[in-house]
């Protein structure tokens, strides 16, 4: 462990919460049970991140590609999300957690949109953990949406710095650490622009089994990494 990395807490952690379906299947249960347990694991991760002083936590909850799943599963996931928000809003406020949703909002069903906008508004003054839930999100869609805004404004002078201003949340720093559960070693169209120099951590653990201990393991792994950003160590 490098001394300068000891106790270093990443400012922004992003998580691809994967493996809910397999968790349920392993127990002979329908996939939706996995999503229910997955919501509990998300709550644990949120509280842990807020307790240890992570500033930004981005959770991948539903990708634009996930619409291709059976309708009952999609409906269940959205129902769970609405229930979760209604249930936990007061606890988010108590913990001073600021909640925002990342993704294409315009194509979300009306009741979902109302629920998420209400939660965003209610927590907008909170100054603790910045919780970002990626919903109907895809990295390529975000980049294309940024390009559309640039074209519409007729901007020709474009740089890496000003391009960032057209992403969904320009104020959010790039993730320092990306965690993906369930053993899949891929990005699945998540935060393509922002992950350029993020440390990647993959674990076999299925999302519903991801607890504080597993989160700590990921943080220890992060602390043992040497981030060079293209430079060399002198």
Residues that bind ligand IPE (CB under 6 A): 16-22, 60-63, 66, 77, 182, 184, 186, 188, 207
Q: How many CA atoms lie within 13 A of 165 on its CB side?
A: 9
| 203: partner contacted, choices Mg ion, ligand IPE, none (Cβ within 5-8 A by kind) | none
| 191: partner contacted, choices Mg ion, ligand IPE, none (Cβ within 5-8 A by kind) | none
> Reduced to 3 states, what is the DSSP secondary structure of residue 73?
helix
Among residues 18, 98, 130, 136, which one is catalytic?
18
Question: Which residue's CB is nearer to ligand IPE, number 58 or number 115?
Answer: 58
| Contact criterion met (CB below 8 Å) for 209 and 92 | no
Q: Exposed, middle or buried by CB within 10 Å (0-12, 13-18, 19+), for 234?
A: exposed
Question: Which residue's CB is nearer to ligand IPE, number 21 or number 175?
Answer: 21
Dihedral sign, Cα of residue 225, residue 171, residue 139, residue 69: positive
Residue 96 gets which letter from DSSP? T
Question: Which residue's CB is nearer to ligand IPE, number 142 or number 223?
Answer: 142
| 13: partner contacted, choices ligand IPE, Mg ion, none (Cβ within 5-8 A by kind) | none
| Strands 177-180 and 98-102, sheet pairing | unpaired
Told to judge if 66 belongs to the known catalytic residues of this protein, a careful annotator would answer yes
CB of 208 to ligand IPE, least distance (A): 9
Among residues 66, 145, 174, 211, which one is catalytic?
66
CB of 115 to Mg ion, least distance (A): 24
For residue 165 the two structure tokens come to 């201003």
Question: Which single residue brings its beta carbon nearest to ligand IPE?
Answer: 21
First to last CA, the chain: 17
Q: What are the DSSP E strand ranges found in the chain?
A: 12-16, 56-63, 98-102, 130-137, 177-180, 199-202
Question: Which residue's CB is nearer to ligand IPE, number 17 or number 146?
Answer: 17
CB of 18 to Mg ion, least distance (A): 4
Q: Which positions lie near Mg ion, rule CB under 5 A? A: 18
Give catalytic residues, as residue numbers.
18, 66
């Amino acid at each position: 462990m490098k001394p300068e990395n000891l106790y270093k807490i990443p400012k922004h952690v992003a998580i691809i919460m994967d493996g809910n379906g397999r968790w349920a299947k392993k127990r002979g249960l329908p996939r939706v049970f996995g999503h229910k347990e997955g919501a509990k694991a998300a709550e644990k991760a949120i509280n842990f991140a807020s307790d240890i002083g992570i500033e930004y936590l981005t959770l991948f909850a539903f990708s634009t590609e996930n619409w291709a799943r059976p309708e009952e599963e999609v409906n269940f996931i959205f129902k769970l999300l609405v229930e979760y928000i209604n249930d936990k809003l007061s606890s988010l406020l108590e913990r001073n957690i600021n909640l925002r949703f990342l993704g294409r909002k315009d194509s979300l069903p009306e009741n979902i949109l109302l629920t998420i906008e209400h939660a965003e508004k209610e927590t907008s003054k909170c100054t603790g953990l910045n919780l970002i839930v990626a919903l109907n999100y895809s990295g390529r869609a975000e980049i294309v949406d940024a390009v559309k805004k640039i074209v519409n404004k007729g901007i020709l002078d474009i740089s890496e710095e000003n391009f960032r201003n057209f992403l969904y949340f320009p104020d959010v720093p790039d993730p320092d650490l990306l965690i993906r559960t369930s053993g899949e070693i891929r990005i699945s169209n998540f935060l393509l622009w922002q992950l350029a120099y993020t440390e990647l951590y993959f674990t076999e653990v299925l999302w519903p089994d991801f607890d504080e201990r597993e989160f700590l393991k990921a943080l220890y792994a992060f602390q043992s990494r040497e981030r060079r950003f293209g430079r060399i160590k002198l």
